[in-house]
Amino acid sequence: MRLLLFLFSLTSTAIAHAAKPNVLFVISDDLNTALSGLGHPECKTPYLDRFAETGVTFTRAFCQFPLCGPSRASIMSGQYPIVNGVTGNGGHLNPQRMTLPRYFGSRGYWNARVSKIFHMGIPIDIVQGTPGRDHAPSWAEAHNIRALETLTPGKVANFTEPEVVAEYPRLREQWHAVKPGDKNYSMPRSVRGDFAVVEVADRDASLLPDTLAADKAIGLLRQRAGQKQPFFLAVGFVRPHFPFISTESSLRPYDPETTALPKFPSDDQADIPAQAIAKDMNLADDAVRQLRRGYYGAVSFMDEKFGRLMAELDRLKLRDNTIVVFVSDHGYLLGEHRMWKKTRLWEEAIRTPLIISAPGRARGVRCNRVVELVDLYPTLAELAGLPPEPGTQGQSLVPLLENPKAKLARNDAWIYTGRGHGLRTERWAFLWYPAKRNRQEAFMLYDMKSDPGQFTNLAADPRYAGIKTRLHSRLPAASQSGRPSAAGARRNGYMTPYTHIGKQWTQSTTRKTLAAESIDSAGTSSTW
């Protein structure tokens, strides 16, 4: 009798496991919306375009902080950065936090990461093969990737520190003599290659971290293919994060002579407050073209590795029972507004690609609703049939996976940078910089329907005063959406949130649904 009960128990467990969908979570690093499937005129991403045909592409997905560490901690915790406490690359999530992969692990899933999921310093943690700011309790297995990065043999162009290139051969030999994971090894900061392009011979593609990450992930998929236990596998591709490294074949489609320069008016910065302006690198047009070309090549290289991963998922016949997410941690400026990189609230830095393919859900469609990356945690939980995890702040996007035109309770996105706050609706981009030190309070307002390049700041125009006031009133509400109290945060293992963001920050503020209403002086209907 005991034997029968034992066998029944095993059978029931196997059936329960089999009924649960797998999750493949893929995140790219510093990828803006330079996807051909999203209409980019130059960058080519055929594998991501093909993948988009199997799911829903969110055209207005926004990160919660345009910086690697805070954004990734927000995605993995399901909380806004000021609530989970990670507001810089040096921050750590509380070890007790029930992160997204840890939650799946607690519900019977095998989970693992490959390469960068939580924050890693690029290239240094890849060069060292170290875990960076990983959240160790989240994983049953964690696999770091070690590679040469800027030191990879190939054609190198460094546009801000060209003199360091001569040191690469010596530093490459030094790297080969170091044991993986040796934290005592260091490389000059100049070798980081913030503004470097590296073209690697196709025969040397196996030296690059995204090749190694794809190889490791494919190996893990093969191990799991015959298992009854469902898996949550997170795979981090580090490209197109600087240095812009790719192969000859990935760069070949992009002509350095014809790569387009960013377009902006000559007086673009005249109506921009100082808090929103990043350092102008004063790069020559040729350097800008070369860097943008290098970025596109790195995107195409990453795209091909993603394609390899999806092909293996199909070959192993895992696709029909696997939820696949492709996302980036944030966007990236490539000379727009004379600015580079991230950490600012410009559209290029805060908008990300997001594609979700789930069994039995909509396929090959676009969703134009405004969504946040903090929404991924509750979305994946619901798709897997798991109950909501207390403390998460996003909203499930499952209704949009069934009907991309559905309306959710919230249809805006809140973004924070430490300097200021942004609120993005379907029509408007609003930026607020509180008074700080010697900086006066500043506002920015853009009509994204008529001014998608964000060239005309309407915040000082009296005709838009009503819009400015209403959007400004939304920011404290956005920050409070679903927020646990400080006491509750401590009880449940969350980091204590900040409570000093502006005078309007109150515990009692609640978030309301934004609606279409007549809000301009001409009396025309404006969609929020």
Per-residue pLDDT at 521 exceeds 70: no
- DSSP letter for 91, please: -
Reported as a single tens digit per residue, the pLDDT across 87-134 is 999 998 999 999 999 999 999 999 999 999 999 999 999 999 999 999
C-alpha dihedral over 23, 27, 33, 35, to 10 degrees?
A: -70
* pLDDT number for residue 5: 39
CA distance 204 to 61: 35
Higher local confidence (pLDDT), 366 or 5: 366
Reported as a single tens digit per residue, the pLDDT across 124-150 is 999 999 999 999 999 999 999 999 999
HSE, CB side, 13 Å, CA atoms: give it for residue 304.
Answer: 18
Strands of 282-412 (E only): list them.
322-328, 333-334, 340-341, 351-352, 354-357, 365-372
DSSP string, 114-162: ES-SS---TTHHHHHT--TT--GGG-SEEE-----GGGSSSEEEESS-G
Give the mean model confidence (pLDDT) for residues 190-195.
88
Instruction: Label residue 70 exposed, middle or buried (CB < 10 Å: 0-12, 13-18, 19+).
Output: buried
Per-residue pLDDT at 504 exceeds 50: no
CA distance 475 to 458: 18
CA distance 439 to 426: 30
pLDDT confidence of 184, banded at 50, 70, 90? confident
CA distance 66 to 351: 9
Count, in order, helices (H) and strands (E) of the chain: 15, 20
Q: For residue 324, which of 33, 48, 109, 36 has the smallest C-alpha distance?
A: 48
Q: What percent of the chain has pLDDT over 70?
A: 87
Residue 93, both tokens:
């999530």
On whether the CB atoms of residues 224 and 233 are closer than 8 A, the answer is yes
Higher local confidence (pLDDT), 2 or 370: 370
Delimit the domains of the chain by residue range: 21-402, 413-480+498-526
Pairing of strands 244-247, 354-357: unpaired
Reported as a single tens digit per residue, the pLDDT across 208-249 is 999 999 999 999 999 999 899 999 999 999 999 999 999 999
Pairing of strands 22-29, 231-240: parallel
Give the mean model confidence (pLDDT) for residues 344-361.
97
Instruction: Label residue 278 exposed, middle or buried (CB < 10 Å: 0-12, 13-18, 19+).
Output: middle
CATH topology of domain 413-480+498-526: Arylsulfatase, C-terminal domain (3.30.1120)
Per-residue pLDDT at 525 exceeds 60: no
On whether the CB atoms of residues 38 and 57 are closer than 8 A, the answer is yes
Neighbours of 302 (CB within 10 A): 29
CA distance 353 to 369: 13
Say if domain 21-402 classifies as CATH 1.20.1530.20: no
Q: What percent of the chain has pLDDT over 90?
A: 80
Give the mean model confidence (pLDDT) for residues 483-512.
31
Domains 21-402 and 413-480+498-526 belong to one CATH topology: no
**Angle, vertex CA 355, rays to CA 42 and CA 93, nearest 5:** 110
Which pTM was predicted?
0.89
CA distance 317 to 117: 25
Per-residue pLDDT at 12 exceeds 50: no
